[in-house]
Each structure stands twice: as C-alpha cells, then as structure tokens.
Structure 1
Amino acid sequence: MNPDTVPTPPDAHAAVETLYEGRWLSLRRRGRWEYAERNNPGGAVIILAVTPEDRILFVEQYRVSILQRTIEMPAGLIGDIAGQADESALIAAERELEEETGYRCSRIEFIHQGPSSSGMSTEMIAFARAWDLVKVGEGGGDESEDILVHEVPRREAGAWLFARAAEGYSIDPKLFAGLWFLEHVGGGVVR
C-alpha cells in the first residue's frame, strides 16, 4: 500500500489544544486524540554498544513512571542540555554512552529512527551503533540518576533479558530490536 494514497483521518486536520505543558513533556489533543509531545525537538537516542570482549552494555535503573526497575540499552534525550537544542543524535549518543556506562567510542553510526509509541507520543527514537569502545570512567549517569551497568556476553543477551524479566524487571521491548540491529545492520549495510 502506498502511504500517499491512504485517506487522511478527519482528526489529522483538527486544531491542536495544549492540555498540559511541563519541562520535558506536553499533553496535547487533536480532535479526539490525546498524545504526549516531547518538548526537546531532537527526540531520544538508544546506543547499541558492544565491548571489545563482545559484551553488550545494558543499564538498569528505577523508572518512576512505571514504579519499577528496568533493563534498557544506554539512551538519552537529544538536545536536553541548556544551549544544545540543536545537538545531533550522534553527539547525544556519544555523550550518553560515556555518562551512563563510562565507555567512550571512537566511531558512532546512525542505524535507524522511528516513533517510540506512535499511538501515544510524537517522540522519535534513533538507534546508533557505537564502535571501538574504551572504558574511561565508572558511568552510572548524572547527579539525577542511579544507573547500574551490566556487561552481558552477546550470545547470552536474549536469555539474560528473559531471566531478568522472570525476576520482575521491566524489559524494554526495543532491546530486542537493538539485538537484531547488532546482528543484521552495521557498517552502513543490512546483512
């Protein structure tokens, strides 16, 4: 089906009403549709990072919105630092990788971008692949975060994630897309 020939729903042309505006998110209504909108224009980035020992980097942290500890890949908002509203996804990825995990990369590559939850939010998420990692610090996030870093052998990553889910952790489903990207996309080509 060609997206250009799909009829546009009536709500698509309705005026946008702001229901609430916070520092990072706003709640909007267009017609009957309510959705969250990121106030930073760049969205977010997820970093696919594998150590020289072939270990995938995951981060664990408590998420207030779901009242649960989560396992995620290193990630963060793009352009969320004062004066950096025009920050690129790749610069944000390098910054967040070091901040959260204590690793620096010598090369970063854009992989894919898409909506985080198209029925609920305008947020776009980019995936970036970090190459040639070097440990330069402890990680753990900034002063507002309490992040625990996990280095998991790549071939055990899927089973490790399901084991954490069985223990009660919330596992972000985007991790499985990230694992697929690590195996099938890189160096600018789909394998």
Structure 2
Amino acid sequence: MKWHNKFIPSLYVKSIKEIDYNFLKEQGIKALFFDLDNTLIPYDIDVIPIDIKEFLEELNKDFKIVVVSNSRKKRVSTASAILTNIPYVKFSRKPLKFGFKKALKLSGVKRNEVAAIGDQMMTDIYGANRMKFKMAILVHPIKQKSDHFLTRFNRKMENKIIKKIKKNNIDKYNEVLKAYAESK
C-alpha cells in the first residue's frame, strides 16, 4: 500500500449528524471514537452543547462512545463533563496508537468493530487507518478559523496529501475526498 493511501477516509460527511448510523450498525460497528476539537465542538468553545450531548447519549444506547482527543486533560474533562456514561481519552497523541488503544480498552470492542470519526486526515484518519479500524470517517471541521497553530500546519500538509491521492488514486479521490477537497 502506498503511504498516502493511509490518509484516505472510509467516507466523508459534513457533520457527525449526517452519518448513517444504521449503516454503521449493519457493518458490524459497535463503538464510535469521536474526536473532540472541530468534530464535536470548535476550539473556541469550552463545553459540549446540549444538542450534541443529547445526540451522543442517544447514540450511546446503540454504540459504545468514547471521546478521543489530543487536547490536554483540563480541556477534555471540562468539555466532556456534561456527558453521562461516555468516557474520554485525553492527550491521545493521534496519529500514534496510544490513545486509540486506551479507547479500545474502555469500550471493550475489537478493532474491526470501531468507527473513528474526526476532522483531520493527519491525526484522526491516519491514526484510525494505522489501527486498522473498520472505518475512519472524516467530517468537515466545525470552525476552521478556531484551529490551533499545529492544526493549521496539519491542514496545509493535508492539502498536499489530497493532491497526491488525486494524482495516484483518482477513483478513491472521486469517491471519498473530492467533496471534502472542494469544501475547503
């Protein structure tokens, strides 16, 4: 497998609410690992809003939900404090495997029963693909203007990788990444 193919998501949707969760169940998905920043909330918001809390808790009836974030403890614990029975992994160091392995232990599922959902190809998608999760779902960032410096750098690198994928794997680009690339 060419290195750039590890950055290709299973699918792209504009937001977590546009994911077909019934389809995920049909695919054998039992756990959803959500990124926090710009997937569930923008960087400039401190707490998960009530509508997202209710949405996640409803999903938690059918799936094991874990918030997996690269942010530090204070940010993740403050943001997630509103959630009931939904654990989190802080400072997960995605795309490294450390945080995802911790989330696997918390959820009690196998790798082929996980869909990881996040807004960055460089961390969320690449990390999920390295873990060989069943699905790696890319969502459009909620508020890209709130990105931190490192995330802005990652997005520039992401653009180069998207061009590489378009050049070398046009079918996958058209199937999954074209809508994302055009929405940037």
TM-score of the two chains, using structure 2 as the length reference: 0.26
Larger C-alpha radius of gyration, 1 or 2?
Answer: 1
Q: Which has the higher strand share?
A: 1
Q: Which has the higher helix share?
A: 2
- Higher relative CO (Cα under 8 Å, sequence separation at least 6) belongs to 2
TM-score of the two chains, using structure 1 as the length reference: 0.25
